[in-house]
């Protein structure tokens, strides 16, 4: 009985051991509850609500190590196009922002139904940055939870992931639609995306010697530097003029912000991948490319017919979304020219953002929970 009484006394004493202490305890407790409720009202939360974790910021140096090989990148872009065209993706209208005299940017957002996150991507080009020792590409990607809407992760990529997914989509088109025995690639433009294109496309051309590169640029100096860069991946530079090389190339990839055509025509049966026309007023391909016997494939019919190359197509040319084509491919006519108009779709940003986020964050969590555990646990 003594032990029972003593236990009860200890239990009561945890709250208050004397009458005066009980009085003070009630006062302190009430004040603490009032403070907690006041803070909850101030921050719009309820008492007892689960606290959210601080969003994870992934730096450019971290994410560069997490970018998957080009084969996996191409697969993820293909899956993204199919999801978009099969209504498994939700994509908001694109927002374009022009900072007069400085640069321009676009904001794209969307998600996959049934996924855990939704993504907002901001990416822009600031042409004057090269003179400052900065990348012309700038931006970031934000990942939010679909369930709560809370910010989960910020990818401080400076626009690099947009360049990566754009070049990977171009490489996918080259892989799928380049003519047989492909040998010559013509790249129009010498920026970051053009560099990624020659890197990603090199394995798709002749092994060893024989893969020929034509570089088209407004600057002879830039073309020379770009050629030296490309040689490091095993490309042989064409000896003829840029115009002659472009007219006979098996594959032409355009990576410029041009507002007037930079490719007036291509050889019959060539594969053309246009990347630059991603906003109103931009255009890279001339009428000779978008008329006649052409298979015109687009990433988004809604976007491309409004401000992509498809907006300038001939009346008899129809366009098909890449995702729809991949889902139900049709035989390509012999010698038919294929034009791929890529304005960039938010679902591509969802694919690259979630892939990189998972590659960085999940191993970190795994290492935290595996510390001190036996092997195999």
How far, in whole angstroms, is CA 210 from its chain's centroid?
A: 32
User: What whole-number distance in Å separates Cα of residue 3 and Cα of residue 357?
Assistant: 58
Q: How many residues does the chain have?
A: 377
Contacts 24+ apart (CB under 8 A), 12-17: none
SS3 state of residue 208: coil
User: Which residues does residue 124 pair with via DSSP β-bridges, in sequence order?
Assistant: 105, 138
- DSSP for residue 216: E
Closest CA to 253 of 323, 178, 303: 178
Name the pairing type of β-strands 151-155 and 89-91.
Answer: unpaired
Q: Which residues contact 283 (CB under 8 A, 6 or more apart)?
A: 258, 259, 260, 261, 277, 309, 312
Name the pairing type of β-strands 137-145 and 151-155.
Answer: antiparallel
What are the Cα distances from residue 151, in Å, to 44, 53, 77, 140? Answer: 17, 9, 24, 13
> Residue 51 has what pLDDT?
56
SS3 state of residue 377: coil
Q: What global pTM score does this model have?
A: 0.82
Q: Greatest CA span in the chain, whole angstroms?
A: 106
Find out whether 275 and 257 touch, Cβ atoms under 8 Å.
Answer: no
Structure tokens at 173: 């088109």
Q: Where are the beta strands (DSSP E) in the chain?
A: 56-58, 89-91, 95-99, 103-112, 117-125, 137-145, 151-155, 184-188, 212-216, 236-237, 251-254, 271-274, 294-298, 319-321, 337-341
Find out whether 153 and 58 touch, Cβ atoms under 8 Å.
Answer: yes
Find out whether 108 and 80 touch, Cβ atoms under 8 Å.
Answer: no
Q: Which residues contact 173 (CB under 8 A, 6 or more apart)?
A: 271, 273, 297, 322, 338, 340, 342
User: What whole-number distance in Å separates Cα of residue 253 and Cα of residue 276?
Assistant: 10
Buried-exposed string 232-245: b where 16+ CB fall within 10 A, e elsewhere = eebbbbbeeebeeb
Going residue by residue through the chain, which has 377 residues, state the pLDDT in tens, using 9 for 90 and above. 344 333 343 343 444 444 444 444 444 555 554 554 544 444 444 444 455 678 999 999 999 999 999 999 999 999 999 999 999 999 999 999 999 999 999 999 999 999 999 999 999 988 889 889 988 889 999 999 999 999 999 999 999 999 999 999 999 999 999 999 899 999 999 999 999 999 999 999 977 667 999 999 999 999 999 999 999 999 999 999 999 999 999 999 999 999 999 999 999 999 999 999 998 899 999 999 999 999 999 999 999 999 999 999 999 999 999 999 999 998 888 889 999 999 999 999 999 999 999 999 876 544 443 444 344 43
> Residue 35 has what pLDDT?
57
């Amino acid at each position: 009985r003594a032990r029972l009484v003593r236990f009860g006394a200890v239990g009561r004493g945890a709250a208050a051991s004397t009458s005066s202490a009980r009085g003070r305890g009630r006062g302190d407790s009430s004040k603490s509850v009032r403070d907690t409720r006041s803070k909850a009202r101030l921050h719009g939360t309820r008492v007892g609500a689960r606290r959210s974790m601080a969003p994870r910021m992934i730096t450019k140096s971290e994410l560069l190590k997490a970018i998957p090989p080009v084969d996996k990148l191409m697969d993820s872009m293909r899956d993204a196009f199919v999801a978009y065209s099969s209504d498994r993706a939700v994509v908001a209208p694109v927002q374009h922002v022009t900072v007069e005299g400085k640069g321009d940017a676009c904001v794209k957002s969307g998600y996959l139904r049934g996924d855990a996150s939704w993504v907002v991507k901001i990416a822009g080009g600031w042409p004057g940055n090269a003179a400052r020792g900065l990348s012309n590409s700038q931006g970031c990607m934000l990942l939010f939870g679909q369930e709560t809407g809370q910010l989960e992760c910020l990818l401080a990529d400076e626009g690099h992931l947009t360049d990566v997914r754009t070049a990977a989509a171009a490489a996918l088109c080259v892989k799928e639609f380049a003519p047989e025995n492909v040998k010559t690639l013509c790249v129009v433009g010498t920026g970051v995306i053009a560099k990624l294109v020659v890197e990603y496309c090199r394995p798709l051309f002749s092994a060893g010697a024989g893969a020929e590169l034509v570089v088209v640029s407004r600057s002879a100096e830039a073309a020379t530097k770009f050629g030296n860069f490309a040689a490091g991946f095993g490309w042989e530079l064409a000896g003829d003029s840029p115009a002659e090389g472009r007219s006979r190339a098996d594959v032409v990839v355009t990576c410029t912000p041009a507002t007037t055509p930079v490719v007036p025509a291509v050889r019959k049966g060539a594969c053309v991948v246009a990347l630059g026309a991603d906003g109103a007023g931009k255009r890279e391909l001339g009428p000779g490319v978008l008329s006649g016997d052409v298979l015109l494939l687009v990433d988004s019919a809604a976007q491309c017919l409004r401000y992509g190359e498809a907006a300038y197509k001939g009346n008899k040319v129809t366009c098909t979304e890449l995702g729809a084509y991949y889902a139900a491919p049709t035989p390509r006519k012999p010698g038919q020219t294929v034009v791929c108009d890529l304005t960039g779709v938010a679902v591509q940003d969802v694919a690259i953002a979630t892939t990189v986020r998972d590659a960085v964050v999940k191993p970190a969590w795994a290492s935290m929970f595996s510390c001190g555990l036996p092997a195999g646990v």
